[in-house]
Structure 1
Amino acid sequence: MSATTPPGSITGKVHALGLTLPQPSGPGGNYVSTTRIGPLLFVAGQIDPAAALGRLGDTVSVEDGARAARAAALNIIAHVVKAAGDDLAAVRRVAKLTVFVASTPDFTQQPLVANGASDLLVAVFGDAGRHARSAVGVAALPRGASVEVEAIVELSV
């Protein structure tokens, strides 16, 4: 943690894991990246165009897919910081993740890929990062991404 990163900050926790928060991405169409209804923050599907492109069960390994899911979850965290401030206490709970995995019809390890996102959220938010989750295989994702992750997060602020 740097001298400018206060204790209890989300950014500090991310840095302690050896990662850097990206700038929150803008929408890729006629929608918004986040919507807040009361304490719930809905984060639109996030991809990392620098992560593995292609489909699991074809050109992308489970390990590369998990890294792509982790990168997408890092983008979700960036949106949480933008919406709620850089305070770990502002996140009451990561309520739900949906992880879309571009995969061949016979690929069945979507949950292993999704663990890349889930593990990061628990590492950053502790018990508040434990969530319900769906891991779904799909034929294709935007921009050729191998993984897309969307989230519902309960905030206290």
Structure 2
Amino acid sequence: MATTFEDRLAALGVTLPEAAAPAANYVPFVQVGDLVHVSGQLPMADGAMIKGKLGADLEAEAGAEAAKRCAINLLAQVRAACDGDLERLVRVVKLVGFVNSTLDFEDQPKVINGASDFMVEALGDAGRHARSAVSAAALPFGVAVEIEGIFQIRP
């Protein structure tokens, strides 16, 4: 039985990457009290961004995989905010997911489920969170999904 968050991730075959540096004039996360606000994370797989528009180039299942990749990158930022100790994470408070989608695509929640389901699978009850899943006409670099999050941590 996996006893730590890192153990649970390893059991899922997930290794968190190094936290990505910001691409512009912002910081990757801000801590206020016991909350860490993580800037929007993009979906990366094998060193490449997952690009496309849901409802045109991609189906909801592919979008959900992209959302899972965003969730992995969110946890990498949380680990960085916790000075490398992911066990300081208390819970995921909220995720906000932006889905690059056509005007008639209505399955944004199914796409963001990729992140939500992963958080619960990887973190158990600590992964349960409030959430928004919204459509976007376009996202940076043409990516399929971008997700930001708020996390509670221990000092």
Q: Which moved more, 1:8-17 or 1:127-136?
A: 8-17
Deviation per residue, 1:24-54 (Å, 9 max, x gap): 1111110000000010000000002435311
Distance 1:91 1:83, change over 3 A: same
User: Is contact 1:11-1:86 (8 Å) kept?
Assistant: no
2:13 paired with 1:18:
yes
User: Is contact 2:36-2:153 (8 Å) kept?
Assistant: yes
Aligned positions, number: 151
Alpha-carbon separation, structure 2, partners of 1:41 and 1:21: 18
2:107 paired residue number: 109
Alpha-carbon separation, structure 1, partners of 2:130 and 2:28: 21
Alpha-carbon separation, structure 2, partners of 1:12 and 1:126: 12
Query: Normalized against structure 1, the TM-score is what?
Result: 0.90
Alpha-carbon separation, structure 2, partners of 1:143 and 1:94: 27
1:33 paired residue number: 28
Q: 5+ residue gaps in structure 1?
A: 2-6
Give the superposed CA RMSD.
Answer: 1.6
Deviation per residue, 1:7-38 (Å, 9 max, x gap): 74433221110112111111111000000001
Alpha-carbon separation, structure 1, partners of 2:118 and 2:5: 12
Kindly provide the amino acid, as one letter, of the partner of residue 117 in structure 1: A
Q: 5+ residue gaps in structure 2?
A: none
Task: Give the match's secondary structure for 2:66.
Answer: helix
Give structure 1 regions of 4+ aligned residues with deviation exceeding 4 angstroms: none
2:39 paired residue number: 44
1:4 paired residue number: none
Distance 1:151 1:41, change over 3 A: same
Q: Percent of aligned pairs with the same residue?
A: 47
Alpha-carbon separation, structure 1, partners of 2:52 and 2:66: 11
